[in-house]
Chains A and B, each alone.
Chain A
Amino acid sequence: EPEVTQTPSHQVTQMGQEVILRCVPISNHLYFYWYRQILGQKVEFLVSFYNNEISEKSEIFDDQFSVERPDGSNFTLKIRSTKLEDSAMYFCASSEDRFYEQYFGPGTRLTVT
């Protein structure tokens, strides 16, 4: 069964550095999402992406964040200047259609020191 994949599984970075988290959505899916989960807390929506455009974003997704689909398979989340409070698990998800279920990747644990 196809799955969403994410790399790296764990990223440690220093405050102020840029990080790029990578995701490969399920191949026939058209809608892509990023969520984050701070340890012990609920999953929070960051952004959704369709047809090479952001379709929706949350208040968390400020100017420090950006998303890109650089080629036909990857979907990336960039954090320009990381803060301590960006430490969280970041999940990518994809869906075949916006009205269909979303499938989550295994996550990237980001630790900002």
Chain B
Amino acid sequence: GENVEQHPSTLSVQEGDSAVIKCTYSDSASNYFPWYKQELGKRPQLIIDIRSNVGEKKDQRIAVTLNKTAKHFSLHITETQPEDSAVYFCAASKAGNQFYFGTGTSLTVIP
């Protein structure tokens, strides 16, 4: 089955700096890659996603890039704010099947 690895496990940045979280996947048939943000004690919330027919997608301060050849995708957050502090999970799936999640990155934005 699919194996998703996520790095780093923890990340601290100064407010206003950029944060980058990287994920790799093993199954070349995976074609949908969502990113979820989970604040402490709350539900995972979808923040951005990308499908395999696209190399990059941006939504305000958040962007995701996908390299199908290398089988990795990354989340980029620019101009970070304290409210960006949370655990971020990447996931991969194919053709609408189950999501395989990464192990999560705990992001702390220092004011």
The residues of A with any CB-CB pair to B shorter than 8 Å are: 4, 31, 33, 35, 41-45, 48, 56, 58, 91, 97-107
The residues of B with any CB-CB pair to A shorter than 8 Å are: 32, 34, 36, 42-46, 49, 89, 91, 95-104
Q: How far is A42 from B101 in the complex, measured between Cα atoms in Å?
A: 7
Q: How far is A21 from B91 in the complex, measured between Cα atoms in Å?
A: 24
Known contacts A41-B103, A42-B103, A99-B32; is A104 also within 8 Å of B43 by CB?
A: yes
How many residue pairs bridge A and B at CB < 8 Å?
51
Known contacts A42-B104, A56-B97; is A101 also within 8 Å of B34 by CB?
A: yes
Known contacts A99-B95, A101-B49; is A45 also within 8 Å of B100 by CB?
A: yes
Query: Is the pair A104, B45 in contact by a Cβ cutoff of 8 Å?
Result: yes
A99 interface neighbour in B44, B89, B96, B102, Cβ under 8 Å: B96
B89 interface neighbour in A43, A58, A101, Cβ under 8 Å: A43
Rounded to whole Å, the gap between the CB of A100 and the closest CB of chain B is: 8
Known contacts A101-B34, A101-B49; is A56 also within 8 Å of B98 by CB?
A: yes
Closest to B96 in A: A98
Q: How far is A98 from B99 in the complex, measured between Cα atoms in Å?
A: 11
List 5 additional contacts besides A45-B99, A58-B98, A101-B46; criterion CB under 8 Å: A91-B44, A101-B34, A104-B45, A105-B43, A107-B43
Query: Is the pair B44, A43 in contact by a Cβ cutoff of 8 Å?
Result: yes
* Chain A interface, >50% SS class: loop
Rounded to whole Å, the gap between the CB of B23 and the closest CB of chain A is: 12
Rounded to whole Å, the gap between the CB of B42 and the closest CB of chain A is: 7
Closest to A97 in B: B96
Query: Is the pair A42, B42 in contact by a Cβ cutoff of 8 Å?
Result: no
Query: Is the pair A91, B43 in contact by a Cβ cutoff of 8 Å?
Result: yes
A43 interface neighbour in B42, B97, B101, Cβ under 8 Å: B101
Closest to B106 in A: A40
> Shortest 9 CB-CB distances between A and B: which pairs?
A98-B96, A45-B98, A43-B101, A104-B43, A99-B96, A42-B101, A42-B103, A106-B43, A104-B44
